[in-house]
Amino acid sequence: MPSDRNIRLKPPPSLEPTEYDVGYRKPPAASQFKPGRSGNPKGRPKGARNKRPALNEERLKTIIVDEAYRTIKVSEGKRQIAILMAQAVIRALAVNAARGQHRSQQLRAVLRLGSLGRSPCPTQTTSSSI
């Protein structure tokens, strides 16, 4: 009797599966994935994850102009006022230049000379001076 524990019983030949069993984690053959076919055929195409739309010049210009003319709220003293984004940038540049930031002072001078029709750099010449 001690050798009975080590003996494995084989099922009778009539109970062995003759075709594919359907059950837990064994779907019917008709609903299984076909070889070479994706499980999600209408899913994301290959390489679509890392591609971004191209920014051409006209589209970039419209984005910049839209952002420059967007109104934002700025604190002035104890009240908030609504001004354009471009105006807020120029105002912040002037404040930083007045505080002594060298780069802001340089950029402010270049903008002022450019608005007066003068050349921003002394080495550059305009077409009117030639």
Q: Between residues 76 and 38, which one has the greater pLDDT?
A: 76
Flag whether 88 is in a domain.
yes
Contact 20, 29 (CB under 8 A): yes
Confidence of residue 111 (pLDDT cuts 50, 70, 90): confident
Residues of the domain holding 100: 63-117
Mean pLDDT, rounded, for 78-83 = 94
% pLDDT > 70, the chain: 77
Flag whether 74 is in a domain.
yes
Q: Name every residue whose Cβ is closer than 8 Å to that of residue 125 and which is 6 or more positions away in sequence.
A: 119
Q: What is the pLDDT of residue 4?
A: 63
Domain count for the chain, please give it.
Answer: 1
Flag whether 83 is in a domain.
yes
What phi and psi, each to the nearest 5 degrees, are found at residue 48? -80, -15
Q: What is the pTM of this model?
A: 0.46
Flag whether 20 is in a domain.
no
Element (H or E) spanning 86, and its range? helix 85-99
Flag whether 46 is in a domain.
no
Flag whether 98 is in a domain.
yes
Q: What is the pLDDT of residue 98?
A: 93
Flag whether 70 is in a domain.
yes
From CA 96, how far away is CA 54, in angstroms rounded? 35
Q: Are strands 79-84 and 71-76 parallel, antiparallel or unpaired?
A: antiparallel
Flag whether 124 is in a domain.
no
